[in-house]
Structure 1
Amino acid sequence: MPVRSAVPQPQSRAASPGRPGAAGVLAGLAGACHPLPAAAVTGFAAALAVAAGRGLPGAALTAGAVAAGQLSVGWCNDRADLRRDLTTGRRDKPLVAGTASPAAVTRAAALALLLCVPLSLASGLLAGAVHLVAVTAAWAYNLRLKSTAVSWLPYAVAFGLLPAFVTLGLPGAPWPPPWLTAAAALIGTGAHFANVLPDIEDDLATGVTGLPQRLGARRSAALAGLLVLGSTAVLVAGPPGAVTAYGWGLLAATALTLLLTAGRPGRVPFLATLAVAGADVTLLLFRLHG
């Protein structure tokens, strides 16, 4: 796909004269933070904290730290991608559409990152350090690794460490069981491959050559499905005790969902991945409570 030769100038991006009011600025920032993935990851962390026994205060503290980290990552991502988004004409992105300014997004990302530090460390020094490593991995993806063959690695690290952030905040600071870490890493890596599917051609046109772009849409979609299915299988078979009827049903439903959404256009595979992740969280709650 050829790159458009004319890059829109910043002053052409605003559809209406004058500066947006406070409500417009907030709306633009909300759209630029990748709200759906941020809410999904924050909800997963909060549910896991409740299931692990941290109680409502601990779950709220966990959710606050994860939300701050996710907001910083989302805003960093849109700001880092601005030039490429302008080149490909991504009018659905607030920075390109002019509903958010680069300076505002930069300030928001920095503020969220600063807030993430004390919120993370409030769960304990080790727990906080683990979460900050996960956030650092996500920023490394945005700023450098997304265009390399190890583009999947920050997702595996960030998602794989999320359960550790939760459990290390418990009395005695226990590490999570290996099956839980593996399942989280698999679902995160699968989400990476599914998330880039709609943008592979634009990515290649602007020099983004992560592993999914190198593999191509068909193989990346297949790999995303296998990774998500593997995550569900680990959650079903990993914990001690007999597999529940819900677990077997979820495994079958996951396979069917991935089969039906394979090759579908747009963000359908990514949304299917989020749906499977939500079902996995439900299974996890059942297994942790016996």
Structure 2
Amino acid sequence: MTLLAIGAGHRGWAILGVFLAVGATQLSVGWVNDWLDADRDRRAGRRDKPVASGAVSRRTVGTAGLIASLAIPFLGLPFGLWPAILISLVGIFALLYDWPLKSTVFSVVPYLVAFGLLPAFVVVALPGHPAPPVWLVAAGALLGGGAHFANVLPDLADDAETGVRGLPHVLGATGSSIAAAVLLLAATLTLVFGPAGPPSWAGWAAACASVVVLPLGWYAMTRASGRAVAMFRAVIVVALIDVLLLIFSGRVV
């Protein structure tokens, strides 16, 4: 989002302001998640989690999550009322994923909304508060939805053992791989063909790469007796393509 802000025209203190405001949403959702899931992470043996491993207390992480959450609207206010509201909504929907939506079939909704609002915040925070292009908001939402399914894939087994049943768990590894691929491909096409004017050569290359990589990942998965790792890697490649397209889309906002 900071690189998108630079491409969109933010300068000076505003670049740091975007970095801090968006960063606060990430710290908020991450710390609150670890506070809520401390017992579940211990049962799952998540030694990569500081609370579960005993590196930091649950109370400390919970307090840090509360401070980060309360800081979000204040960090958005220097840009004006509407940017502050947008970045606050990002934080609210991120926290709604932590609880209670993560364990429901609506688990993808916070990702769709929050990721769509993030680029909207970057654009509305510009001087004069211009309206964000619809294609940019849609691309952010699609990228967020795809990221949700891709992000959960490695943790499906651990989540199932501890009672987490979000939409990816309902669809399973294959269904989640397909959902991630479709959403990320849609994000790619939106970022390439959404802006006014003909797509650049880089845009065409990105679209072609996504169209080729995803079927190859699917084919490799079917040849590997249903193992989802090949499809997961293909999805990650397309996600990286989408992130690069999103960053450079600031130039055409």
Fold shared, TM-score > 0.5 on shorter chain: yes
Q: Which amino acid aligns with 2:103?
A: S
Q: Which amino acid aligns with 2:245?
A: D
Give the number of the structure with larger relative contact order, counting CA–CA contacts within 8 Å between residues 6 or more apart. Answer: 2
May I ask how many residue pairs the two structures share in their alignment? 244
Equivalent residue number for residue 137 of structure 2: 181
Unaligned runs of 5+ in 2: 219-227
Q: Which SS does the other structure have where 2:125 is aligned? A: coil
Equivalent residue number for residue 27 of structure 2: 71
Task: Supply the RMSD in Å over aligned alpha carbons.
Answer: 2.0
Alpha carbons 2:135, 2:195 under 8 Å: kept: yes
Equivalent residue number for residue 124 of structure 2: 168
Q: In structure 2, how many angstroms separate the alpha carbons of the residues matched to 1:129 and 1:148?
A: 26
Alpha carbons 1:134, 1:157 under 8 Å: kept: yes
2:202 equivalent to 1:237: no
Q: Deviations over 1:101-132 (max 9, x none)?
A: 10111111112122222111121111111110
Equivalent residue number for residue 161 of structure 2: 205
Q: In structure 1, how many angstroms separate the alpha carbons of the residues matched to 2:231 and 2:46?
A: 14
Alpha carbons 1:124, 1:168 under 8 Å: kept: no
Cα deviation for residue 283 of structure 1 reads: 4.0
Alpha carbons 2:7, 2:248 under 8 Å: kept: no
Q: Deviations over 1:165-185 (max 9, x none)?
A: 112112332221110110000
In terms of fraction of residues, the more helix-rich structure is 2
**What does residue range 51-70 of structure 1 map to in structure 2 within 5 Å?**
51-70=7-26
Unaligned runs of 5+ in 1: 1-44
Give the one of 224, 236, 245 matched to 2:180. 224
Cα deviation for residue 274 of structure 1 reads: 4.6
Q: Percent identity?
A: 42
Deviates more, 1:48-57 or 1:171-180: 48-57
Q: In structure 2, how many angstroms separate the alpha carbons of the residues matched to 1:90 and 1:100?
A: 14
Alpha carbons 2:184, 2:239 under 8 Å: kept: no
Cα distance, 1:149–1:232 mapped onto 2, change above 3 Å: same
Q: Which amino acid aligns with 2:181?
A: G
Q: In structure 2, how many angstroms separate the alpha carbons of the residues matched to 1:47 and 1:65?
A: 14
Cα distance, 1:276–1:179 mapped onto 2, change above 3 Å: same
Q: In structure 1, how many angstroms separate the alpha carbons of the residues matched to 2:39 and 2:80?
A: 39
Q: Which SS does the other structure have where 1:100 is aligned? A: coil
Q: Which amino acid aligns with 1:202?
A: D
Q: Which amino acid aligns with 1:64?
A: L
Alpha carbons 2:8, 2:251 under 8 Å: kept: no
Cα distance, 1:245–1:155 mapped onto 2, change above 3 Å: same
Cα deviation for residue 268 of structure 1 reads: 4.2
Q: In structure 2, how many angstroms separate the alpha carbons of the residues matched to 1:216 and 1:255?
A: 23
Q: Which SS does the other structure have where 2:79 is aligned? A: coil
Equivalent residue number for residue 249 of structure 2: 284
Q: In structure 2, how many angstroms separate the alpha carbons of the residues matched to 1:102 and 1:61?
A: 29
Cα distance, 1:266–1:86 mapped onto 2, change above 3 Å: farther
Cα deviation for residue 259 of structure 1 reads: 4.1
Alpha carbons 1:183, 1:235 under 8 Å: kept: yes
